[in-house]
Amino acid sequence: MQVRSSEPSISTARNDPIQKIPTAEPQSEPEKKIRRRFRQKLAPPSRAYAPSYSDLASLMNANPEKAILRKFGDLNMKNLLYLQAELIELQDELGEISKGDDPLFDRDWFCLAHAEDNRQWTIMTEIRDVLKEYNDALTQQSFNFGFDRPHSYDLKVLRKLLVRPKMGNQFLLGLDSKAWNEDTEEDLICLSHQGDEDHLSKWVTDKFMVWIHYLFGRRLNQNTLVYYSEDRALRLLSLISTVLASILPIVAIVVLYVVPTTKYRLGILAGSTAVFALILSVVAKAKRSDGFAATAAFAAVQVVFIDISGPT
């Protein structure tokens, strides 16, 4: 859209890529909006590199957990309610008209569709269009409910990237810059499946890797993003968890073997079983019934060892 100007244009800062701002009085609301955007948003850039939609899109594509968007749940539901109300009105009108029409229309589609000035068929075609739109919206909204909520850490990182001077400095100029505000947090979804992480995995990705970055990573290059492979960290964590799961029963048996008296062994049995249950809840995302079964099996192994070794 071009905005005509009858007055000399005003030059902006030397480094501003857009050198002219329209000064003529706008003739329409869209032109007024453009004028306000030019005046308020096109400030001189604070650095040589200015991020854009392309950079944000590349970031989200490279890091699917940062692909966080609005689902507009309220608008989708309001649209469904309006379509439902429209269909109810059309259905009621169709029922009233069909009562006074020729009974043959209920038995012969050809007569219904080709009769002259047939209001019943006209309403039916309107219902067909609205019904298709309603079913599509209904299916899409059901699909939207299946998206995962973003992790709080990923959302926090995205917000920081958008406002940090070296990374974004709030480069989005329109109202969409508020898409990730706290008041819209309940309406945000993540396009990447988040899965059910255990507490330890969540701690590693949300806390431990952040500490590693502050200690070492940020010293490498302070002007660009530093990427860490979350998959590698989780694979290493899975290896550690597997080794730990195989060592715990052996350690418990060795301790029971060293302790000579039965009463001390029973105390160690209770303590080691509690520690096993605690570790299980931290490193594994197991069902409650599975947790009880694994803990009972761990305790049973120790009881069998105590019974075999005999009282002392």
Average pLDDT over all residues of the chain: 76
Residue 152 has a CB neighbour count (10 Å cut-off) of: 11
pLDDT band, residue 88 (cuts 50/70/90): very high
Q: Express each pLDDT in 256-275 by its tens digit.
A: 888 878 788 888 888 888 88
Q: Within 13 Å and on the Cβ side, how many CA atoms surround 182?
A: 2
HEC-encoded secondary structure of the chain: CCCCCCCCCEECCCCCCCCEECCCCCCCHHHHHHHHHHHHHCCCCCCCCCCCHHHHHHHHHHCHHHCEEECCHHHHHHHHHHHHHHHHHHHHHHHHHHHHCCHHHHCCHHHHHHCCCCHHHHHHHHHHHHHHHHHHHHHHHHHHCCCECCCHHHHHHHHHHHHCCCCCCCCCCCHHHHCCCHHHHHHEEECCCCCCCCHHHHHHHHHHHHHHHHHCHHHCCCCCCCCCCHHHHHHHHHHHHHHHHHHHHHHHHHHHHHCCCHHHHHHHHHHHHHHHHHHHHHHCCCCHHHHHHHHHHHHHHHHHHHHHHCCC
Q: What are the tens digits of pLDDT across the range 89-125?
A: 999 999 888 888 878 888 888 888 888 878 888 899 9
Would the pLDDT of 2 be above 60?
no
Calpha distance 167→178 (Å, rounded): 17
Tens of pLDDT along 138-170? 999 999 998 888 888 788 888 887 877 665 567
Find the mean pLDDT for residues 185-202. 76
